[in-house]
Structure 1
Amino acid sequence: MKEKTLNGLMEEDNVLTGEIREIDGDMKTLVYENYSKFISATDTIRKMKSNVENMESEMDRLNESMNSLTHQTTTINQALGPNRDKIQQLSRAHNQLKRLQFIFNLPSRLSRCLSTDQLAKAVKYYARAAQLLDHYKHMPAFKGIERDCQTIITKVKSQIESKMRKEDSVEKIAENIRLLILLKEDVPELRQKYLKLGKVLIREFGQEKKQAGPVTSAEELVDVYIVPLDTVVQYYNTLFVENSEDFPPKTKQEIKDANQDLSEAIQTCINSFFESVTKIIALPVRIPNELDNVIEEKRPLKQTRDLQILNEALAEKGTNLSMAVALDKQMSQVIEVWENELVNRFLCTVVSGMRDRMSELIEPPFTEDTPYDALSETLAQFIDISETWCREHVYNNCLIPLRECLQEDIEQSSFTERISNGLNSMWHSLAEHLGTFPNGGEVSQLNRHIVCLVSSRLCFDFADHIIARIYSEFSSKSANPLSRHESIDTIFLSDCQELTELFSQTGQTLLNNQIMEDGYALSAKVQTHYLSLQSKPPTKPSAVWREVFTRLQSVEQLVNITFPQPSSPEGRDVSDSEHDYRFGSLASTLEAPPIQATHSSQSLATMSSGTGEPLGNVSKFGNDVTLNMMHTINKLFEDRVDVYRPIEPSAEGACGALVRVLLKTLQEVVREMWVDCNIYQQLQVDVEYLGIALRSYAGDEKTSSALRDIVSGAYMRCSDPVSINADDLERMLAH
């Protein structure tokens, strides 16, 4: 153990000894380097000291030389001073003589330029001498020169204008106009001449292009309109708008007038340009058909590519046009209108498609003999297929192609706004179409009823989940129909909420209108029957009620088919089992009503309104009159019953509404009709029959109370009321 410890200590000692040697070597190197630098610094200081001593002697010699030079310069300047003024005077005189010589030779120079067709040089010479001629025009010698120059310049102007009318390029026309401006011709007149000749060139160029065929592409529009017009505007700005060294500075009013003249002059060309653009980008009659033929292309519409070409051409070759008349902004407005039209054209296929589907619903028309099961299956399949088609068509055949056509050409925010506006307009049109109640002359009553109920169901389903699902699928977030608005982009949220409310109201209105129409029809039957009722002893319930309950049964069937109810908590399907029980109950009621109902001491036909006493035993005089009058007054001040309040979309809600209408109608009819003992007894039979038949539809206390009020009202209006006995009532109900 001690040997191992000793070996470890020796190894550590060896390591420390090696490190000490390395550190000693580093210290020696550091000392050597610092010593070398110290020696070098000492030498440098010694040299600097020597140089500074030499520099002082050199500065003294330089100072002496500068003083000597200054003295000599002063002496020379004083000696040459008197002659310098004479030289300057002679130089000015020489320059003046040269200008005078130029003026004296100007007529000959101008004549030579005119004869050799050097019109630009002639204008240049005259422009140089014009100010001097004007300055000396009062001197006789210069008057002749000015007269000769004017004669020649007039010929030069005439020749320039003649030559200008024959030029075949805007650049040459602009050069001639520039010469005329230098000759101080009327600028407003020159603006009109330039613009007129520029338009002539554009028109001639367009005619040449059209001779080869009509303009049918964006590339041809660029060549025929954008490039020539931009060139005309470019030279126009150089001549009449921008300031340059060749022309006098332009005032703000002159620039304003020039811009106005330009805008008015080229407006016709711009209108022609946009007319051609409108023709080229006109959308096909049926966009989906054209899309089907070019599925492989990323951007299926040729018009989109044409608009992109025009936009790029304006950015690269139409900068002057954009600055002068804001052609780029006008083009942006045209594109915006076109894109909105494209969105609407795609999305209007949704409305037309739903219109076609709704027309197919009644072709061939349904009849009263159509089996219930067949009708139920047909309508359920129609609703399911129509909703699936609408959702898939909007997303796959409208929104996705629109994204491919537009999104790369406009900003994301603008694209989303276009889609939002288009969808909003489409949904409103669809709601308006579905909410249009079919006219009676178009289809039969049954088919009108079916179309109205199916439209109502579609509206409720659109409001419930379809609209939110479409917006959710189009949004960039995950499409989860269970999350409703949570997965919809914020820009669509307000529209989605508003549209949900719109379709919910439309569906409710359709359902209310259909039930209201049925209620009017049934009320008319009941009213007509009782107002024409003849006085004879009753033998059975009025036949009108069999017609009423047949119609009620039909309404219940259709509403049950259109708005099937969910299963009950016990797992029993409410829409099927209760429907079968209800119709079985009603059928048995129509054929053989339960007899035991008439034996009850609470029979509706023999009970007063809430008194529990037989009406036949109630005296109409004395205190009983007061009691009956107070009962009538109390009924008048009861809460008003809203007969046509919003109807729940279910068979129970629809039939309950119709029952309320029928009872209200019978109450009002009894108030208007003449009642004797026979009619009173007939009403007793009918009310008892209604109490049994309506039990499956509205067997609540309000219904019973309304029926008692009908009998009570008839009793009060009858001069000699005698209630029918229970045996006769039982026999008549069983008839």
Structure 2
Amino acid sequence: MKTLVYENYNKFISATDTIRKMKMNIESMESEMGHLNENIECISKQTRDINRHLEPHSRKIQDLTNAHNSLKRLQFIFELPTRLQHCLNRGKYSQAVKYYSRASPLLNHYKHMAAFKGINHDCMDIMNNVKDAIWHKMAESDLTIKRTAELTKLLLLLKEETSNLWKQYVNIQMTCLSRKNVSHSDPMTVEELLSDYIMPLEEIVHQFEALFLSGENGSSEDPKSDTVTASIRLSDEDREKAKDDLFTAIKPYTDKMLYSASKLIELPVQITTATSIEQRLQNMNKLKVAFRDKGQSLLRVIQPVQRKLHSLYARWEYELIKGSLDSVKKAVREHLCQFVTDLDMKDNGSEIEIDADRTADFIQDTQIWLAEYITKSCLLPLNMNLDITNAATAERLQSGLKNMWQDIGNSFGASSSSKYLSVLLLLESRLCYNLANNGIYRVYVAFSTQSSYDKNLVNSSSTHFAELSDTVLDPTIISDFNDVVDYYLNRGQFLLKKHLMLEAYMLTCRLQRDYIYPNRDSSSVQRSSDVWTYFTKRLRYTDRILGIFFPQQQHLQQSDSATDNVSMLDCNYSGGPYSTRHVPPSTHSVATMSSISETPGKTYFEVEDNVALNMMSSNIDKLFAERIDVYRSVEPTAKDVCTALIMMVLKAFLEVMRETQVDGVAYQQLQVDVEYVQRMIWPYAGDEKWASSLLQEVLSNAYTRCLSPVSLTQDKIAAILSNCLNLFNL
């Protein structure tokens, strides 16, 4: 504390001394300012006196100065032929043109006078020799591009014909450029491309522009230099012609330049990581800097080169974006195939058992993994390496992102030889719905953020945004986002229907084999056909596997049939983020007939009671059965898929029976099969009339085709079915 007090005390004393000195200096400053004002007034008075005494002689001095300058110009004019001849002899053509350019206005003005006429004639003869010497110099083989431009300037000042001059200039420059590149191979680096092509072409075009495409007629000179500059203004027609001649001449070199540039930035066929294209990225950045700093005149004057270069940039950006985003499709395919391969699936005949918990975790993790992969491995590197502030680049990136989503969606369902094709189709369908629900939105939010778009709240009434809160997307990408979501909803539906049709096709083949080519060893009906036992197993399997991939609230339903204790799971799907518009399966059917029972425990068709009535009923039901929408859209639920599968199989059953001729035993077998089918499908079809209508049509066709139809009694059918259910533990 003592030290602190001591130091602050010293500073206080120092500040006091400084203030005292400032006060003393200010007092002396006032007296000094007074002396300075007196001196300035004295100087001003003396200056006025001097100007007053010299004013009578100033005009005379100015006249003498003008006369002296005129004599010097006359002396220069009289000595001009000698000066020009001296420059010609020593090869100083630029100095000769400079002298003649300074004197030619005066010679032209006084050429009517004898003295000046002779001087003008001598100068013109000498300058003609100078012009010939310049043309001879331009024909030398070791002439450089820069020297050619300098000599062309001299000829331009000497009033050489402009059209001939620019053609000669271009031809000579092309010869110089050809000699410069004759010993060089294809450029291996951007630096070589710059030195071999860009800079020489830039120099040629820059000089051509300065000489023929800009400026007014005339010349200027630098008093400290022996050189002169010149430019001439051409008409618009001549300017375009001059540009065309220049472009025609340098086109082989510009084409080679652009080709070499494209090879230096050429991207690999498959882009995996940023390191694999690091050198190309560096070359692209160097190339842009090279043309920006060293090729301004070339791009400004030769518009085709500028357009081709911009096209090269655009194509490179497109290939980079496409190549980077194409890796996503491959990664997704490998990700899904690896899961299917590693999944502990037990092949139990025609059924495959799947770990439901592991499958659910994989589906949930996959959409998160995919969003992160696209964002971190694709969008982020692209944003770092591309100028996304450029509108065209941003548009290409946005378009590439949309195409990537479509390519991924198109790859779903493309496999046709996988052992687990059915499982893969359901997995891809569920993934499509999940992506449409949330995954795609995540990617577009990341894209919007990384691209530094202006954020605006999206209208809550916009498509696909009803379930999203605090939604922030750039308005320019909302249309793409909605298109992609719509596409994935449709794609998920397509894959689900493809799985459904695969199952239906397999069952239809069994139907055709068992009914068109029956293998019957007994003369009486013992049990239901094997195809329907197989159908029941596949129906249960479909219900179970759909419950795994599209888990919803499961409800256990018991059949009310006294002879059937079958238990089935009913998946009630009440809508959701990936719900499509539900189309009831009975939309295109329903013919309510009094002869059709609404309970599964009764035979719904008894021929022996009233054949005529049943025939009429069959014909009416046939009209409606023809209109059943077999390939309708289905909800992603177990119940709706199973119902659609039943519809397809029953429709195929009907078509098969229309092509089959039956006997009495076959007709009785058909009665048992129809009753069996009705009991098995009851937990799914319920009291829907389309199922009864189709099955009624099957029996109706069989009855009309059978020569001696004898129907089994209902008790007999019930006894046979009871044995079947006990036999197969159903």
TM-score, normalised relative to structure 1: 0.69
Greater mean alpha carbon deviation, residues 663-672 or residues 255-264:
663-672
Q: Which residue of 1 aligns with 2:683?
A: 696
Matches of residues 29-178 of structure 1 in structure 2 within 5 Å? Answer: 111-123=85-97, 155-164=129-138, 165=140, 169-178=144-153
Give the conservation status (yes or no) of the 8 Å contact 1:604–1:687. Answer: no
- Does the 8 Å CA contact 1:680/1:721 hold for their aligned counterparts? yes
Q: Runs of 5+ in structure 1 lacking a partner?
A: 1-90, 293-299, 568-572, 589-599
Tell me whether 1:323 sits opposite 2:300 in the alignment: yes
Cα distance in structure 2, aligned partners of 1:375 and 1:423: 34
Paired residue for 1:676, among 660, 663, 668?
A: 663
Aligned partners of 1:361 and 1:451 also within 8 Å: no
2: CA distance between counterparts of 1:522 and 1:398?
44
Letter in 2 for 1:721: P
In structure 2, how many angstroms separate the alpha carbons of the residues matched to 1:144 and 1:367?
113
Which amino acid in the other structure matches residue 713 of structure 2?
N
**What corresponds to 1:390 in structure 2?**
370
1:196 aligns with 2:171: yes
Question: How far apart, CA to CA, are the structure 2 residues paired with 1:328 and 1:346?
Answer: 27
Q: C-alpha offsets along residues 85-136 of structure 1, whole Å, 9 cap, x if unaligned?
A: xxxxxx9xx99xx89x96xx98776654433323345556777679989999
Partner residue of 1:48? none
- After TM superposition, the structure 1 = structure 2 runs for residues 525-536 of structure 1, keeping only pairs within 5 Å, are 525-533=510-518, 536=523
What code does the residue aligned with 2:516 have? L
Question: Residues 585 and 560 (structure 1 numbering): CA distance in 2 closer, same or farther, change over 3 Å?
Answer: farther
C-alpha contact (below 8 Å) 1:468/1:485 kept by paired residues: no
Amino acid at match of 2:93: L
The equivalences for 1:293-372 within 5 A come to 301=278, 303-326=280-303, 330-363=308-341, 368-369=347-348
For residues 488 and 269 of structure 1, do their structure 2 counterparts lie closer, same or farther at Cα, with a shift above 3 Å needed?
same
Q: In 2, distance between residues paired with 1:448 and 1:259?
A: 64
* CA distance in 1 between partners of 2:539 and 2:284 (Å): 61
* Bigger Cα Rg: 1
Do residues 180 (structure 1) and 158 (structure 2) align?
no
Please list, as runs of the form range in 1=range in 2, the aligned pairs for 1:405-554 lying within 5 A after superposition.
Answer: 405-406=385-386, 409-411=387-389, 413-414=391-392, 416-436=394-414, 438-439=415-416, 442-444=417-419, 447-476=420-449, 483=468, 486-533=471-518, 536-554=523-541
Mean alpha-carbon deviation: is it higher for 670-679 or for 387-396?
A: 670-679
The whole-number CA distance in structure 2 between the counterparts of 1:512 and 1:277 is 50
Residue 173 (structure 1) shift: 1.7
The reply on whether 1:235 has 2:222 as its aligned counterpart is no
Say whether the 8 Å CA contact 2:440–2:485 is kept in structure 1. yes
Residue in structure 1 matched with residue 727 of structure 2 by the alignment: none
Query: What do the CA deviations read for 1:641-674 (whole angstroms, capped 9, x no partner)?
Result: 1111112222212221121122222333334433
1:6-25 residue pairs with structure 2 within 5 A?
A: none
Give the aligned partner of residue 657 of structure 1: 644
Q: Tell me the SS of whatever aligns to 1:454.
A: helix
- Aligned-partner Cα distance in 2 for 1:723–1:290: 76
Shift of 1:529: 1.9
- 1:261 Cα deviation (Å)? 1.7
Superposition deviation, residue 500 in structure 1: 0.7
1:634 corresponds to which of 613, 620, 623:
620
Is the partner of 1:483 in helix, strand or coil? Answer: coil
Secondary structure of 1:722's match? Answer: coil
Contact kept, 8 Å, 1:113 with 1:119, in 2: the verdict is yes
Identify the residue that residue 607 of structure 2 maps to in structure 1: 615
Q: Provide the rounded CA distance (Å) in 2 between the counterparts of 1:601 and 1:635.
A: 14
652-661 vs 366-375, greater mean Cα deviation: 366-375
Native 8 Å contact 2:427 2:549 kept in 1: yes
What SS class does the counterpart of residue 401 from structure 1 fall into? helix
Give the Cα separation in 1 of the matches to 2:472 and 2:478.
10
What corresponds to 2:708 in structure 1? 720
Distance in 1 (CA, whole Å) between partners of 2:201 and 2:208 is: 10
- State the TM-score, normalizing by the size of structure 2: 0.69
Show the 5 A alignment for 1:274-289: 274-283=258-267, 287-289=271-273
Residue 645 of structure 1 corresponds to 632
Aligned to 2:218: 245
Q: What is aligned with 2:254? A: 270
**Quick one: distance in 1 between partners of 2:447 and 2:234?**
57
- Residue-by-residue CA offset, 1:562-610 (whole Å, 9 max, x unaligned): 2222x3xxxxx55xx679xxxx96599xxxxxxxxxxx9988797455x
Asked whether the 8 Å contact 1:435–1:506 carries over to 2, the reply is no
Shift of 1:308: 4.2
For 1:368, what is the secondary structure of its paired residue? strand
> Cα–Cα, structure 1 residues 449 and 688, in superposed 2: closer, same or farther, change >3 Å?
same
* Residues 683 and 249 (structure 1), Cα distance of their counterparts in 2 relative to 1, 3 Å cut: closer
Rounded Cα–Cα distance in structure 1 between residues aligned with 2:410 and 2:597? 54
Q: CA deviation at 1:435?
A: 4.0
Residue type at the aligned position of 2:302: V
Higher helix share: 1
CA distance in 2, matches of 1:585, 1:487: 54
Aligned to 2:547: 560
Q: What is the DSSP-based 3-state SS (H/G/I as helix, E as strand, rest coil) of the residue aligned with 2:624?
A: coil
Label 1:603 to 1:652 Cα distance change in 2 as closer, same or farther (>3 A).
closer
Provide the secondary structure at the position in 2 that maps to 1:649. Answer: coil
Deviation of 1:226 after TM superposition, in Å, equals 3.5
Q: For residue 422 of structure 1, report the CA deviation from its aligned partner.
A: 1.5
- Contact between 2:528 and 2:669, CA under 8 Å: does it hold in 1? yes
Change in 2 beyond 3 A, CA 1:602/1:290:
closer
Equivalent residue, structure 2, for 1:75: none
Instruction: Supply the distance in 1 between the matched residues of 2:565 and 2:260 (Cα, whole angstroms).
Output: 74
How far off is 1:423 after superposition?
0.7
Count of equivalent residues: 588
Q: Retained in 2: the 8 A contact 1:472–1:479?
A: no
Equivalents in 2 of 1:391, 1:281: separation in Å?
29
State the shift of 1:455 in Å. 1.7
User: Distance in 1 between the 2:232 and 2:671 partners?
Assistant: 111
Per the alignment, do residues 249 and 608 of structure 1 end up closer, same or farther by CA in structure 2, a change over 3 Å counting?
closer
Matching residue within 242, 245, 249 for 1:261:
245
**Letter paired with 2:669:** Q
Q: Alignment partner for residue 380 of structure 1, among 360, 366, 375?
A: 360
Contact 2:269 2:323 in 1 (8 A): no
Structure 1 residues 316 and 364: alpha-carbon distance in aligned structure 2, compared to 1, 3 A threshold? closer
Equivalent-residue separation in structure 2 for 1:459 and 1:308 (angstroms): 39
Offset, 1:257: 1.7
Match for 2:203: what amino acid?
T
Provide the C-alpha distance between the structure 2 equivalents of 1:653 and 1:490, rounded to a whole number of angstroms. 37
- 1:202·1:228 contact (CA, 8 Å) conserved in 2? yes
Contact 1:230 1:320 (8 Å CA) reproduced: yes
